[in-house]
Amino acid sequence: MSIAKDLIAKAERREALFGIIGLGYVGLPLAVELAKAGFKVLGYDISQRVVDGLNAGRSHIKDVSDAELGEQVKAGRFSATTDPKRLQEPDAISICVPTPLSKFKDPDVSFIVAATEAVKASLRRGQAIILESTTYPGTTREIMLPALEATGLKVGEDFFLAFSPERVDPGNPTYQTRNTPKVVGGITPACLEVAVALYQPAIDTLVPVSTTEAAELVKLLENTFRSVNIGLVNEMAIVCDKLGVDVWEVIDAAATKPFGFMKFTPGPGVGGHCIPVDPHYLAWKMRGLNYKTRFIDLAGELNSEMPLFWVRKVGEVLNDAGRAVKGARVLVVGVAYKANIDDLRESPALDIIRLLDAQGAHVEYHDPWVKRFTEDGVERVSQPLTPELLSAVDCVMIVTDHTGLDYGLIRTHAATVVDTRNALRRKA
Ligand SMILES: NC(=O)c1ccc[n+]([C@@H]2O[C@H](COP(=O)([O-])OP(=O)(O)OC[C@H]3O[C@@H](n4cnc5c(N)ncnc54)[C@H](O)[C@@H]3O)[C@@H](O)[C@H]2O)c1
């Protein structure tokens, strides 16, 4: 039997051992889903704290409960390690490491390079390596393939290499790892066939595409689509503000069109590890090919200027009340980058707090999902949302519209509210 056929048969019998490199927001849910499907899964992470916690059945990711994880640990289907030598054990390895931006907004693929080096050090015949991290088109073929083939092993024959973008949407109650269709592209047709067979038991729908570049680009198209459309409605919010028209009324009415319109909502800007970051990967790649991605750049500009737009609104409402921003008490409600999650990465709330601070406001915050955080060397602690606090502050600014917040309390006790999400009206 060929190596590919052998691996496919192992996947069908759930006998393949899966390795997951990087056990964060993406890697851990994938690991647990694969374990639930019957695979044995070995997680590998450089963080001893993460690995110790997971082996003790403690999840650090909200989308995976301790009970769910504990069940797989107890059943012997999931364990984690910091020992890179153990990467020779798995038959399949999915790489889910971070892909941030450098200070100058260029791709930082150092985590992918480090993970590739770890895989390369113990690569053996019969292993399939699948990159999940969001990255620019060409990464799998240009960075990973030469490194792995330097071992003397041949792709598509001795080992298999594919790209399959993770689409996890943290906090989404409907779509999780299993029921979100998964795109896969292989370096060779055998790579694609092996990768699809490996994921088949754990994912309801697999979407094969012809190359790793196509698969890499799918993810960037999806996130650029969101960034551009959010940029468009954010611009519409600025336009409506200048015209004295209610942007939410306009959007809700437009959304009644049963075809040709998709509803996006304005807000304080974009956050998280994806929308503000991923389009820059494509823009960078295209700059190298002498092409300027204008939509990406414009949407990025618009979205990153929204915190300033909303801080100006705070200035306006305080001015109307005869107060200056300097010395005013402002309560920011919600600091996570979106509703019902505890993730602060790239959250526009951080920019908003920084801008208000710079103007001399006294900023406090309330967020039931984020009990405390440190930014710019300052530790902040979530304040209880009480009638006393709401009536004591000069302005309440709703930045994240978490479900379950007492919006009625805000409406009743706050002197002035700047509502970046239209939460008070929507939750009325
Ligand atoms: N968070 C999301 O919502 C989301 C959604 C879709 C895709 N993605 C993409 O998935 C990738 C991972 O993102 P994430 O949010 O899971 O990141 P994360 O920071 O939550 O997790 C990454 C994990 O990788 C570990 N790690 C870093 N370098 C390592 C190495 N060399 N070897 C082993 N482990 C290492 C870290 O310790 C951490 O535990 C990124 O490319 C991201 O763009 C993220």
pLDDT of 1: 65
pLDDT of 46: 97
Which residue, 341, 346, 353, 418, is CA-closest to 379? 353
Whole-number percent of the chain with pLDDT over 90:
96
Please give the average per-residue pLDDT across 361-373, as a whole number. Answer: 97
**Nearest atom, ligand 1, residue 99 CA:** 41
- Those residues whose C-beta lies under 8 Å from the C-beta of residue 175, and which sit 6 or more positions away, are 169
Q: Which residue out of 47, 82, 96 has the highest number of ligand 1 atoms within 8 Å of its CB and is therefore the one to mutate?
A: 96
**Nearest atom, ligand 1, residue 47 CA:** 37
Pull the structure tokens for residue 351.
């920019």
Task: Dump pLDDT digits (tens) for 386-411.
Answer: 999 999 999 999 999 999 999 999 99
CA distance 162 to 9: 18
Pull the structure tokens for residue 419.
């509502």
Task: Dump pLDDT digits (tens) for 110-119.
Answer: 999 999 999 9
pLDDT at 30 over 80: yes
C-beta separation of 347 from 316 below 8 A: no
pLDDT of 57: 96
Task: Dump pLDDT digits (tens) for 175-233.
Answer: 999 999 999 999 999 999 999 999 999 999 999 999 999 999 999 999 999 999 999 99
pLDDT of 112: 98
Collapsing DSSP to helix, strand or coil, 100 comes out as coil
What is the reported pTM? 0.93
Q: What is the mean pLDDT of the chain?
A: 96
**Nearest atom, ligand 1, residue 169 CA:** 3
pLDDT of 426: 83
Q: Where are the beta strands (DSSP E) in 103-147?
A: 128-131
Task: Dump pLDDT digits (tens) for 53-98.
Answer: 999 999 999 889 999 999 999 999 999 999 999 999 999 999 999 9
Q: Is 274 a catalytic residue?
A: yes
Pull the structure tokens for residue 295.
């939509």
32 lines ligand 1 (CB under 6 A): no
Angle at 144 between CA 294 and CA 189, to 5 degrees: 90
24 lines ligand 1 (CB under 6 A): yes
CA distance 195 to 66: 29
Residue 373 pLDDT class (50, 70, 90 cuts) = very high
Pairing type for strands 92-95 and 17-21 reads: parallel
C-beta separation of 224 from 249 below 8 A: no
Phi and psi (nearest 5°) for 70? -55, -40
Q: How many A from CA of 275 to the centre of ligand 1? A: 15
C-alpha R_g of the chain: 24
Which residue, 337, 135, 96, is CA-closest to 219? 135
CA distance 392 to 413: 9
Residue 171 pLDDT class (50, 70, 90 cuts) = confident
346 lines ligand 1 (CB under 6 A): no
- Those residues whose C-beta lies under 8 Å from the C-beta of residue 399, and which sit 6 or more positions away, are 268, 310, 332, 333, 334, 335, 348, 349, 352, 420, 421
